């Protein structure tokens, strides 16, 4: 079979399976609204939970950084791309989250891939929550380590797997707040299991950092857990992009020597590092924003109780409405868009078969009127 025939067949199968994806160009987003060539939409698909992407202080910090450093880093952090701005941000993160060291990565995906690829060998074992993010599971599958999955948020299932001996090291992997269901991992119980077995725990807290815990320190802080490896990302509550790995000094030095995703990637622009630093300050003093977000979450959940969709137990900004039918999820998304509301359908393989959904995300920027408009449209569609 030639290349063209292969690609044509694969694309045809995807198009016929109600799983076809399309990118759409938008002109601007401020956390609350999304602006496209077709109009202005209430945005309920953003991960900008605190609205910091449009925060004047964060924007100003980036502008000052660009004036000082230019718009790019110019190279890998191992060559010329590690500046005072990067070093100061790493120290700020370590101090804030209570770790000896922090290492900056260009993205959360890169951080997860880099850590697992560097640490795990053929003799080792990875035990992951079966609903962990694709970046974690893909890294585990591509590593030479053995991969086992425990039932979602079930420490007893993890304990059963840990009871089987392993020749090498064991790394337990989970998210703090799960990106598709919005539920929180029982981190205290999971951490206890890892301690008893002599394993290490790696937590990706992309959707918990900034919104959970004292000063927004995240899910682990909230549950009084300090995993050996904590991954935080800046593309959600921080309103920016990039990621960091928090760990002890020995592990940090090992990753500096062996993590290929760190060694061979151009580092984030120094101006971006300065903007992230300011976002941390906004998060630390952001109790009012977190309270507003929580009120929006409570109001939304109260209003949608009678909808004929499955609502998860999420108490976070991620509020999925789950339906079994892929086409129904797309139809509902399109209906909302006609009403001036932007919510995208999430379908397999991003989520398990039979669990297509609208992944509704709430932010501190939304008003009570915004939530009323969304819920009224949802009930209209179902009537």
Angstrom distance (rounded) from CA 257 to CA 281? 31
Known binding-site residues for substrate equal 21, 133, 350
Across residues 151-156, what is the average pLDDT? 97
| CA proximity to 210, closest of 185, 180, 244 | 244
Q: Which residues contact 203 (CB under 8 A, 6 or more apart)?
A: 174, 175, 176, 185, 187, 219, 220, 225, 227, 229, 230, 231
Please indicate, yes or no, whether residues 239 and 350 belong to a single structural domain of this protein.
Answer: no
pLDDT, the chain, mean: 95
Please indicate, yes or no, whether residues 314 and 258 belong to a single structural domain of this protein.
Answer: no
Q: What is the pLDDT of residues 192-221, one digit of tens each?
A: 999 999 999 999 999 999 999 999 999 999
Please indicate, yes or no, whether residues 37 and 101 belong to a single structural domain of this protein.
Answer: no
Confirm if 41 and 338 have CB atoms less than 8 A apart: no
Known binding-site residues for pyridoxal 5'-phosphate equal 108-109, 179, 207, 233
Angstrom distance (rounded) from CA 30 to CA 33? 6
Please indicate, yes or no, whether residues 157 and 193 belong to a single structural domain of this protein.
Answer: yes
Q: What is the pLDDT of residues 311-323, one digit of tens each?
A: 888 999 999 999 8
Stated as kind and residue range, the H or E segment containing 100 is none
Catalytic residues: 47, 133, 175, 179, 204, 207, 236
Tell me whether residue 177 is in a domain: yes
Q: What whole-number percentage of the chain has pLDDT above 90?
A: 87
Please indicate, yes or no, whether residues 263 and 294 belong to a single structural domain of this protein.
Answer: no
For residue 313, the domain's CATH number is 3.90.1150.10
Angstrom distance (rounded) from CA 276 to CA 282? 10
Q: What is the pLDDT of residues 11-50, one digit of tens each?
A: 998 887 767 777 777 777 877 999 988 889 999 999 999 9
Q: What is the pLDDT of residues 88-144, one digit of tens each?
A: 999 999 999 999 999 999 999 999 999 999 999 999 999 999 999 999 999 999 999
Task: Tell me what pLDDT residue 298 has.
Answer: 97
Q: What is the pLDDT of residues 333-366, one digit of tens each?
A: 999 999 999 999 988 888 888 889 999 999 999 9
Known binding-site residues equal 21, 108-109, 133, 179, 207, 233, 350
Please indicate, yes or no, whether residues 263 and 292 belong to a single structural domain of this protein.
Answer: no
Please indicate, yes or no, whether residues 264 and 313 belong to a single structural domain of this protein.
Answer: no
For residue 127, the domain's CATH number is 3.40.640.10
CB environment 13-33: b (16+ within 10 A), e (fewer):
eeeeebeeeeeeeeeebebbb
Please indicate, yes or no, whether residues 122 and 47 belong to a single structural domain of this protein.
Answer: no
Angstrom distance (rounded) from CA 267 to CA 108? 13
Please indicate, yes or no, whether residues 155 and 290 belong to a single structural domain of this protein.
Answer: no
Please state the domain count of the chain. Answer: 2
Please indicate, yes or no, whether residues 264 and 292 belong to a single structural domain of this protein.
Answer: no
Q: Which domain holds residue 78?
A: 73-268
Please indicate, yes or no, whether residues 214 and 155 belong to a single structural domain of this protein.
Answer: yes
Please indicate, yes or no, whether residues 302 and 264 belong to a single structural domain of this protein.
Answer: no
């Amino acid at each position: 079979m030639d290349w063209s025939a292969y690609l044509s067949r694969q694309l045809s199968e995807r198009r016929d399976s109600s799983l076809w994806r399309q990118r759409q160009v938008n002109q601007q987003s401020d956390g609350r609204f999304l602006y496209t060539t077709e109009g202005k939409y209430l945005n309920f698909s953003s991960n900008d939970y605190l609205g910091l992407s449009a925060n004047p202080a964060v924007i100003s910090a980036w502008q000052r950084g660009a004036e000082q450093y230019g718009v790019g880093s110019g190279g890998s952090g191992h060559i010329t791309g590690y500046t005072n701005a990067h070093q100061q941000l790493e120290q700020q993160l370590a101090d804030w989250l209570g770790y000896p060291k922090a290492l900056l990565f260009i993205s959360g995906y890169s951080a997860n891939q880099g850590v697992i690829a560097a640490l795990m060998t053929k003799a080792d074992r990875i035990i992951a929550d079966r609903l962990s993010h694709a970046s974690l599971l893909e890294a585990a599958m591509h590593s030479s380590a053995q991969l086992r999955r425990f039932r979602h948020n079930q420490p007893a299932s993890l304990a059963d797997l840990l009871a089987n001996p392993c020749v090498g090291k064991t790394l337990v992997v989970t998210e703090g707040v799960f990106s598709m269901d919005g539920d929180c991992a029982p981190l205290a119980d999971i951490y206890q299991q890892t301690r008893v077995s002599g394993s290490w725990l790696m937590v990706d807290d992309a959707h918990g950092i900034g919104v959970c815990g004292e000063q927004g320190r995240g899910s682990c802080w909230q549950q009084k857990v300090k995993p050996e490896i904590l991954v935080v990302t800046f593309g959600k509550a921080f309103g920016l992009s990039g990621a960091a790995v928090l760990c002890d000094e020995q592990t940090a030095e090992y990753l500096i020597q062996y993590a290929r995703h760190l060694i061979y990637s151009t580092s984030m622009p120094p101006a971006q590092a300065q903007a992230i630093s300011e976002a941390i300050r906004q998060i630390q003093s952001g109790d009012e924003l977190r309270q507003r977000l929580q009120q929006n979450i409570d109001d939304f959940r109260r209003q949608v109780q009678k909808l004929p969709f499955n609502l998860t137990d999420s108490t976070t900004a991620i509020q999925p409405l789950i339906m079994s039918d892929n086409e129904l999820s797309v139809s509902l998304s399109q209906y909302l868009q006609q009403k001036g509301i932007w919510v995208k359908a999430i379908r397999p393989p991003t989520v398990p078969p039979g669990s297509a959904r609208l992944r509704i995300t709430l932010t501190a920027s939304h008003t009570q009127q915004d939530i009323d408009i969304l819920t009224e449209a949802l009930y209209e569609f179902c009537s």
